[in-house]
Amino acid sequence: MKPKIKTALPLAMVLILWQLASMAVSPLFVPSPASVLDEFVSLLTNGQLVYGLVYSFWRITAASLLAAAVSLPLGMLVFYSSTAKAIILPITNLMRFLPITAFYPLLILWFGIGEQMKISFLFLATFVYMLPSVVLAFQEVSPDLMLTARTLSMNRFQILTMVLLPSTLPSILQTFTMMYGIGWTYIAVCEQINAKYGIGYIIYTSTARGRTAISFAGILTIILVSMAFDWLANKLIRHFFSWRFQDAHTA
């Protein structure tokens, strides 16, 4: 079976099941694919979808960059310091079990209902996954590579800039791409309160008003944008770091 057919078949099955479900229940619960498409086009033409994407994109980007800016130094600290490793690693293991949405009311208490709260929520949602991944990327650096660097009398800064970062950068960028996708999955939560624009705002207000087709259109937008970003980012990473993936394919 051709790859295109393999991709099209599951999509066709989902659309068929979706259509059947919309025929069996009220549109308030499950709107038809055609009505969702109409609302999607309407949101796109009136500019509401574009404004929502711009605001959501800014919030997710700011939070993801902040998570990367904190995770990288902490990951390096764990790599170089046994004391930091003993303190930070247990914390990173516990972070996987944090109920992120449970922090939403606390963040409102601490930061109010403005942009600071939204970005801090998205930062927390991405950081708890990014830091352990960065630490793992540093730990997977070949000991032989590090030994060779020390044999060549490289100092710590040289090892960091000429060995550690170049060898782990593809994995770190792939992690960042995945964390960016996680940000899109949480955007509907953080834009429920005091957000005039945003995809999450569109989903929340439309659901509250019983306009489920618009909510579905917002969800569809998140899926499409996340898939497009993931595809483009991974393609660029594989292009600029082809040596890494060629070695993996050969192995």
Q: What is the mean pLDDT of residues 98-104?
A: 82
User: What's the angle, vertex CA 102, arms to CA 74 and CA 94, rounded to 5?
Assistant: 40
Three-state secondary structure call for residue 238: helix
Write down the pLDDT at residue 6. Answer: 65
Write down the pLDDT at residue 63. Answer: 92
Please state, in angstroms and rounded to a whole number, the distance separating the CA atoms of residues 74 and 34: 48
pLDDT band at 5 (very low <50, low <70, confident <90, very high): low
Residue 215 CA, chain-centre distance (Å), reads 21
Of the chain, the percentage scoring pLDDT greater than 70 comes to 94
SS (H, E, C) the chain: CCHHHHHHHHHHHHHHHHHHHHHHCCCCCCCCHHHHHHHHHHHHHCCHHHHHHHHHHHHHHHHHHHHHHHHHHHHHHHHHCHHHHHHHHHHHHHHCCCCHHHHHHHHHHHHCCCHHHHHHHHHHHHHHHHHHHHHHHHHCCCHHHHHHHHHCCCCHHHHHHHHHHHHHHHHHHHHHHHHHHHHHHHHHHHCCCCCCCCHHHHHHHHHHCCCHHHHHHHHHHHHHHHHHHHHHHHHHHHHHCHHHHHHHHHC
pLDDT band at 172 (very low <50, low <70, confident <90, very high): confident
Q: Give the range among 96-100, 134-138, 202-206 with minimum mean pLDDT.
A: 96-100
Q: What are phi and psi of 196, to 5 degrees?
A: -80, -25
Say which residue, 2 or 114, is predicted with more confidence: 114
Q: What is the mean pLDDT of residues 233-244?
A: 82
Write down the pLDDT at residue 3. Answer: 60
Q: What is the mean pLDDT of residues 154-174?
A: 81
- What's 142's DSSP letter? -
> Would you tell me how many other CB atoms lie within 10 Å of the CB of residue 130?
28
Q: What is the pLDDT of residues 10-68, one digit of tens each?
A: 788 888 888 888 888 888 888 888 888 998 998 888 888 888 899 999 999 999 999 99
Write down the pLDDT at residue 251. Answer: 46
Write down the pLDDT at residue 65. Answer: 92
Please state, in angstroms and rounded to a whole number, the distance separating the CA atoms of residues 20 and 31: 10
What tokens appear for 163 in the block? 């060995």
Please state, in angstroms and rounded to a whole number, the distance separating the CA atoms of residues 145 and 162: 11
Q: Give the range among 88-102, 114-128, 172-186, 193-207 with minimum mean pLDDT.
A: 88-102
Asked whether residue 129 carries a pLDDT value surpassing 80, the answer given is yes
pTM, two decimal places: 0.82
Asked whether residue 248 carries a pLDDT value surpassing 60, the answer given is no
Asked whether residue 131 carries a pLDDT value surpassing 70, the answer given is yes
Q: What is the mean pLDDT of residues 94-105?
A: 80
Q: What is the mean pLDDT of residues 61-90?
A: 86
What tokens appear for 208 in the block? 């509250």
- Helices 199-208 and 48-80: crossing angle, nearest 10°? 120
Asked whether residue 206 carries a pLDDT value surpassing 60, the answer given is yes
Burial of 168 (0-12, 13-18, 19+ CB in 10 A): buried
What tokens appear for 124 in the block? 């927390």
